[in-house]
Structure 1
């Protein structure tokens, strides 16, 4: 009865491995960015086409013309959607741009709170998850 005493191949458990959570989080962040970008594009088109689409909820310090908000959402939505596509294609520039655009989206949605409070809060939460997913994946793959 002979036993195989050859050492088994070591598993790659180093810092450069892509764990399931990290890869899944990045994929999900890319999909969320594409969906958020498309919704922002629709928000922008609606704001540009018709000012009465959004109603103001109370007074707010940061108030702009709704056509200006429409342009902000349209441009940001296009950039976020393209960056989400870049993340799904595993492009290096997309990860850093994604963190920057998700951060910018949090600021924009905070300023847009009186016009769509529920969506603004939900979009800020999505952006926080996107930042977390992109940063934790990056730290695992480059550490």
Structure 2
């Protein structure tokens, strides 16, 4: 029985690298929020008013999971890793969208990265699908 080796195509590899980067940035964002850095803005009457520490834990855990999923996607290129990557990038985009009042520039950049990750993973890689036939 021959083992089938997965190859990671261009857009999938790029999305995996962005997931690793985005996961690392969310992790650092979480650590910074848990440490209660003074660079975050506190807003009044914000609908999603978790404490800064609560947001920090959300970003820390989500960052670790996105980072690990990016590594798995880069290593395997499997369909399950792409689906998990799309789901996690969506959760990351949502978390960073809700984080905009605390650190607008960083949050908007990470939302854009997460949207690009979802686009790249949903894109049909003709080279990859042709090799599988």
TM-score (norm 1): 0.76
> What is the aligned counterpart of 1:81 among 67, 83, 92?
67
Q: Of residues 17, 23, 28 in structure 2, which corresponds to 1:42?
A: 28
2:52 alignment partner in structure 1: 66
Structure 2 gap segments, 5+ residues each = 1-6
Structure 1 runs of 4+ with >3 Å offset: 137-140
Any idea what SS the aligned residue of 1:89 has?
Answer: helix
Q: Tell me, which stretches of 5 or more residues in structure 1 are unaligned?
A: 1-17
Q: Which of 82, 88, 104 matches 1:117?
A: 104
Deviations 1:64-109 (A, max 9, x none): 1000001000000000000000111024232111000001111101
Conserved 8 A contact 2:11-2:125: no
Which protein has the larger Cα radius of gyration, Structure 1 or Structure 2?
1
TM-score between the two structures when normalised by the length of structure 2: 0.81
CA distance in 2: counterparts of 1:127 and 1:119, whole angstroms: 12
Taking the TM superposition and a 5 Å limit, the aligned residue runs for 1:1-143 are 23-50=9-36, 52-56=38-42, 59-92=45-78, 93-137=80-124, 141=129
